[in-house]
Amino acid sequence: MKILVAVKRVIDYNVRVRVRADGSGVETANVKFSMNPFDEIALEEAVRLKESGAATEVIAVSIGPVQAQETLRSALAMGADRAILIQTDEAVEPLAVAKLLAAVARRESVELAILGKQAIDDDANQTGQMLAALLDWPQGTFASKLSIENGHAIVTREIDGGLETIRLALPALITTDLRLNTPRYASLPNIMKAKKKPLEVLTQAELGVDITPRLVTLKVEEPPKRKAGVKVADAAQLFDKLKHEAKVI
Amino acid sequence: MAVLVLAEHDNSVLAAATRNTVTAAAQLATGPVHVLVAGQAASAVAAEAARLSGVEKILLADDAAYAYGLAEPLAALLISLAENYDAILAPATTFGKNVLPRAAALLDVAQISDVTAILSPDTFVRPIYAGNALATVQSTDKRKVITVRTTAFAPAADGGAAIIESLSAAIPVPRSQFVGREVTRSERPDLTAARVVVSGGRGLGSKENFLLMEKLADTLGAAIGASRAAVDAGYAPNDAQVGQTGKIVAPDLYIAVGISGAIQHLAGMKDSKVIVAINKDEEAPIFQLADYSLVGDLFVELPKLCALLSGAQG
């Protein structure tokens, strides 16, 4: 079984994101980029499935600028067997990403796709579900547990009320939640080895996919700031403020 | 503009998030608002939805295929109905987030996720980067597919009298099968709809100590939330997580206890009306947006606060 894992290059989760003064977006110059954390979890899960013998090959796919090759090298260092970059400098929306990934999934005859549940930049939480739809595969989103048994994926999902378990006939799509696993750190020997693993570069035209955006971003702005509050000395003063000033208790 | 709302429910009760979504639908609609109730033996839900103010018609799809809210049959149902509507809305809950993008892709529409404001029939505001930026986006798709951030829209009140129309049976989708659910049982208010939320973080130190949050919640009739660190450490269940990738809450009063305030956590609660933070580290980022900051030992201050609160009620 081949597994496709999508990895996105995003502004590192520790970076305090700043909105550009002209409202055109957020500041990306001189900012640290990393692999989307949910995609690291996806990759870890795929590598574990390969290590357990349930999968034969892990293919990491990214869509983005030439710098996304670094993200793919990280994926290879974590244990992906090979990588594909669909190179573009355009902003690619989730629907277009799903179309590109679907084209790769068909070309590579993968039986499982594991994606992060959302990217921490656009927070869209769409791509996995869209990919499942385009491939007509069943979907197990927000997974906190995954096992492969007799041609099925058994998925425990984090839902608003607790946990839910579903059984999907393969081929299937999984999106990862935070508690699926703890991604490994790539070892130095594996980082060295990753440099020699195959990394193929494609264009959307070669895959025959139209990535024209459907949404126009008119402006990006900072959210309203909260005004600074006050310090209270102890529980008694807090109680008094909540009761008589804020009047919320 | 006719709008269809996908209702969230458990086959017996309409989820509160549906009410907020109906309010968003009414803002968007220039024509009728319909609500789709797809479930099994869900006629009580349809009756409840029919009372929502501003709703003209309930579409009731009652079939075993819809019993557990699986995405595959629901997306198929939505696309079979889509041609009658200019927009399809669902709450941005785990339910709506699971189902709606699948329908959007089948309709070849770019979904607009987590909408916090509707500026015109094609222009919307949505948070990006954990709410550190707000994007105003214009959709060029003919049909809009939207998930709604429920805290940004008031719940629709009762007062309507919609007609209920039954839809024909579902086409079975055998490749996805429900196995089971472990629902967290709680007598407390729903986290996303509660007037008061008390949230605990890693500072509580253990699952046993997290019980202090129960006492605090008891005195306030509050829902209990948690930071990711507390959930990862096993102090609290996953469905208590408040933050960018967990639940978004905006109660009248939010009390953060032993939570340092990572960007990802702040994204889930910074729209609360009054924020209280109790933390021993005065450098904790949570204090930068708290209305009332108490720098101190939570194991000393929390019991005192609980005593004062229960005294106030007694």
- Determine the pLDDT at residue B311: 86
Helix, coil or strand: residue B203: helix
Which chain B residues touch A165 with a CB distance below 8 Å? 179-181
- Determine the pLDDT at residue A79: 98
Euclidean distance between CA atoms B121 and B143, whole angstroms: 10
Residue pair B84/B12 in contact by the 8 Å Cβ criterion = no
Q: Which of B68, B89, B66 is nearest to B3 (CA)?
A: B89
- Determine the pLDDT at residue B258: 98
Q: Which of A102, A66, A175, A37 is nearest to B108 (CA)?
A: A102
> What share of chain B has pLDDT > 90, as a percent?
94
- Determine the pLDDT at residue B285: 95
Residue pair B273/B252 in contact by the 8 Å Cβ criterion = yes
**Tokens encoding B106:** 């089948």
Residue pair A99/A211 in contact by the 8 Å Cβ criterion = yes
Cβ–Cβ of B128/A220 closer than 8 Å?
A: yes
Give the residue from A118, A142, A164, A240 with the most B CB atoms within 10 Å of its CB, the best one to mutate. A164
Tell whether ipTM is more than 0.90.
yes
Q: Which of B78, B112, B110 is nearest to B6 (CA)?
A: B78
Residues in Cβ contact with A61 at an 8 Å cutoff, skipping those fewer than 6 apart: A4, A5, A6, A7, A83, A84, A85, A86, A101, A104
Euclidean distance between CA atoms A120 and B299, whole angstroms: 34
Reported confidence tier of residue B313, pLDDT bands at 50, 70, 90:
low
CATH number of A2-244: 3.40.50.620
- Determine the pLDDT at residue A20: 97
Beta strands in chain A (DSSP E): 2-6, 9-11, 33-35, 57-64, 82-87, 112-116, 139-149, 152-159, 162-169, 172-176, 199-202, 215-221, 230-232
Interface of B with A in 172-211 (CB under 8 A): 173-184, 192, 196
- Determine the pLDDT at residue A19: 97
- Determine the pLDDT at residue B169: 79
Tens digit of each residue's pLDDT (9 = 90 or more) over B164-191: 999 987 777 789 999 999 998 889 999 9
Tens digit of each residue's pLDDT (9 = 90 or more) over B265-305: 999 999 999 999 999 999 999 999 999 999 999 999 999 99
**Mean of per-residue pLDDT scores for chain B:** 96
Reported confidence tier of residue B314, pLDDT bands at 50, 70, 90:
very low
Residue pair B19/B52 in contact by the 8 Å Cβ criterion = yes
Q: Which residue of A has its CA nearest to B262?
A: A14
What one-character DSSP code corresponds to residue A242? I
**Tokens encoding B91:** 């709450």
- Determine the pLDDT at residue B168: 87
Phi first, then psi, for residue A121 (nearest 5°) are: -95, -60
Q: Does A118 touch chain B (CB under 8 A)?
A: yes
Tens digit of each residue's pLDDT (9 = 90 or more) over B203-225: 999 999 999 999 999 999 999 99
Would you kindly state where each structural domain of chain A is located, as residue ranges?
Answer: 2-244
- 10-residue mean pLDDT profile of chain A (249 residues): values are 98 95 95 98 98 98 98 98 97 97 98 98 98 98 97 97 96 97 97 98 97 97 90 97 95
